[in-house]
């Protein structure tokens, strides 16, 4: 398993569909609702939700997900084979590969 911390070695290669600030605002909105409801962590594993929150169009053939804590940066669980696509499409640099 490989782990990459936010802002580390891989710069974004492709243009985002929206500004990074827009994606981060979407995450913050979710975190606000999580806090109101007393949730500590949210598991996001629907492909369309990953695209909406991160700009990443995950392959449907294998399970991939994001973990969003009530505070702090989300982490994505990305298939190693899809890492290049993830890095091209997503604003996030916090991930685990398998």
CB 70 within 8 A of CB 32: no
Which pairs from 13-17 meet CB under 8 Å and 24+ separation? 13/87, 13/88, 14/88, 14/89, 16/55, 16/89, 16/91, 17/55
pTM: 0.80
CATH code where residue 70 lies? 3.40.350.10
Instruction: Supply the range of the domain harboring residue 28.
Output: 2-97
From first to last of the 98 residues of the chain, give the pLDDT tens digit.
555 554 444 454 566 677 889 999 999 999 999 999 999 999 999 999 999 999 998 877 789 999 999 999 999 999 999 999 999 999 999 999 99
Q: How many domains does the chain have?
A: 1
């Amino acid at each position: 398993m490989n782990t990459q911390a936010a802002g580390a070695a891989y710069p974004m290669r492709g243009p985002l569909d929206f500004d990074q600030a827009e994606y981060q605002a979407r995450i913050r909105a979710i975190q606000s609702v999580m806090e109101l409801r007393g949730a500590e962590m949210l598991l996001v594993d629907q492909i369309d939700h990953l695209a909406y929150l991160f700009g990443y169009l995950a392959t449907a053939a294998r399970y991939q997900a994001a973990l969003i804590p009530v505070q702090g940066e989300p982490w994505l669980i990305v298939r190693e084979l899809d890492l290049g696509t993830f890095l091209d499409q997503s604003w996030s640099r916090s991930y685990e590969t398998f």
